Amino acid sequence: MDMFFIKISEFLPFVDESSFTGNYKSKKHLIESNFGKFITELAAKTQYKIQDTETIIENSKPKFKNSKMCFSISHSNDIAAVIFDKHNIGLDIEFIKERDFNSISGYLNLPVKNPDKLTFYKLWTNFEAEYKSKKQKLTSFILEKDYMCSISSFKHEKINLYEIKSKGKHKKIDLQNINPENFKYESIEFNEL
């Protein structure tokens, strides 16, 4: 199982903003969602050699139309992430900050009253990851000191974690037209953590 993530603020200066697509409630959500799709397509094409990255929605979840590789996307604040596996998988990531923990816990029907911050975020991301993968085995960890990350997968496996880094040699990146030849380690690199 491989997880790829990107710090949006590192890449945003190199993005052709006219390539953003979708109708979202805010510009922030538009940007995060487009980066989630971008890293999914980039990793699929460069790391897994999946050329046809057309997606469809099946059981309320995106999947590749012509590949059995499973993936799950999540984004929060300055991070967009995607995880790939051979089996159904769910990923959720949340930026850790102060919130009305009791109100959200009640809304999500979380099993803890008055949770501390880390317990709340672990339960919340577990809830979201399980929802995306239909309640499987859970793994949670802190990513980049400020993000809680949960993965729901078929079985507990090693998670290979890759940060997609900018080398700052970009022309303008079209987030919707990803050709692996344009990303031949001249402008980005996949750093295994």
**Segment 56-89, tens digit of pLDDT:** 998 888 999 999 999 999 999 999 999 999 999 9
Q: What is the pLDDT of residue 173?
A: 78
Q: How many secondary structure helices (H) and strands (E) does the chain include?
A: 4, 10
How large is the average pLDDT for residues 144-162? 90
Structure confidence at residue 181 (pLDDT): 66
Q: What is the pTM of this model?
A: 0.89
Q: Given this model, what pLDDT does residue 82 score?
A: 98
Residue count (the chain)? 193
128's tokens? 């979201």
Whole-number pLDDT of residue 183? 63
Query: Which tokens belong to 104?
Result: 């959200």
Whether the predicted pLDDT of 186 surpasses 60 = no
Residue 185 burial class via C-beta count within 10 angstroms: exposed 0-12, middle 13-18, buried 19 and up: exposed
**Gap between the Cα atoms of 107 and 102, Å rounded:** 9
Contact present, 93 and 148 (Cβ < 8 Å): yes
Determine the Cα–Cα distance for residues 70 and 60; give it in Å rounded to an integer.
14
CB atoms within 10 A of CB 106: 11
The two structure tokens encoding residue 98: 């102060």
